[in-house]
Amino acid sequence: IAVAALTFTVWLFFGPAPALTLALVNAVAVLIIACPCAMGLATPTSIMVGTGRAAQMGVLFRQGSALQSLQDTKIIALDKTGTLTEGKPKLTDYVVAEGVDEREALQLQASLEYHSSHPVARALVQAAQELGLELLSVENFQSHTGLGLSGEINGHHIATGSSRFMQEQGLSVDSFAQQARALAQQGKTPMYLCVDNQLRAMMAVSDPIKQGTPETIAALHALGVKVAMISGDNRNTAQAIAQQLGIDEVIAEVLPAQKAEKVKELQKKFGTLTFVGDGINDAPALASADVGIAVGTGTDIAINAADVVLVSGKLTGVV
């Protein structure tokens, strides 16, 4: 800019006519030659070095713009299952209603869950197989996204899922309320089973916190960034996990289709937002966030929707 100003002054006072026109042309010429050259060399070089160094640390930048956006992040929102946790839940508790056979209830539920790919479904099927229970054939199987499953076994209508799903079936879960509250406070997720519109059992699954998660959240707080958790779990379970990890904002009981909407709400409240997720239902949220970070051990859809991929799958890569 100084050289351009000097050029303008010299041409204006010592140049031939039309002095003003020639002074402007030559001053602008200096700017055009100098500035894009510096930008054209410095910017690609810095991006290349930055993304190369990140790759050595197991972080893949799919979009160069993420380098710029990340430094402005005010809040990081994380999916729970498979991101904060291992994504490999295990059946920990099984409580049946009075007069109900526990093995029979688990057999019916596992038979229904066998047709789902959800991690919780796999946990229940594994528990049934460990007890040597034979899985029964299911007719009219239906998956109700974010709520539960339903189908028919030997002429009986079977439904399993969250308390919200039971309420949609016209059932009250108050008979298990005390046990459910106690389990949720331990960070476990309560689920229910009904047969022919009668509540038969309540079970709880626990998903271990992923190694490195507490350290990651502490490091993000040290950077001055707020941390939020978006989960489909009931509020008590989500609050228990958030309290254990020191998470600032908790958004619970979120259906998969609502995740992107919740991301936009957080953006309006806090500003620039980075979302971290791993599942198919995280893809819209990853795309809606200012920066989407996918856990590399997650689904291909999530990875394709993200700007940054943690190749190792370790949450510490976020920091």
Per-residue pLDDT for 163 more than 90?
A: no
The residue-averaged pLDDT of 132-152 equals: 87
State the Cα–Cα distance between residues 294 and 306, nearest whole angstrom.
Answer: 6
Q: Which one, of 176, 208, 170, 178, lies nearest residue 192 by Cα?
A: 176
79 flagged as catalytic: yes
Q: Can you give the pLDDT at residue 27?
A: 94
Distances (CA, A) of 250 to 19, 53, 140, 312: 67, 33, 36, 26
* CB-neighbour burial class of residue 157 (10 A; exposed 0-12, middle 13-18, buried 19+): middle
Q: Can you give the pLDDT at residue 4?
A: 93
The alpha-helical segments, DSSP class H, found in the chain are: 2-14, 19-56, 65-70, 102-113, 119-130, 163-168, 177-185, 213-222, 235-245, 259-270, 283-288, 300-305
Of residues 72, 79, 93, 233, which has the active-site annotation?
Answer: 79
Q: Which amino acid is at 129?
A: Q
Report the chain's terminal Cα–Cα distance, integer Å.
38
- Of residues 103 and 300, more confidence is placed in 103
Per-residue pLDDT for 37 more than 70?
A: no
Q: Is 233 within 8 Å of 80 (Cβ atoms)?
A: yes
- DSSP, res 16: P
Per-residue pLDDT for 298 more than 80?
A: no
The residue-averaged pLDDT of 59-78 equals: 88
Q: Is 270 within 8 Å of 277 (Cβ atoms)?
A: no
User: Using N-to-C axis directions, what is the helix angle for 2-14 and 19-56, rounded to 10°?
Assistant: 170
Q: Can you give the pLDDT at residue 36?
A: 67
Per-residue model confidence as pLDDT tens digits over 174-228: 888 888 888 887 888 888 999 888 888 888 888 888 888 899 999 999 999 999 9
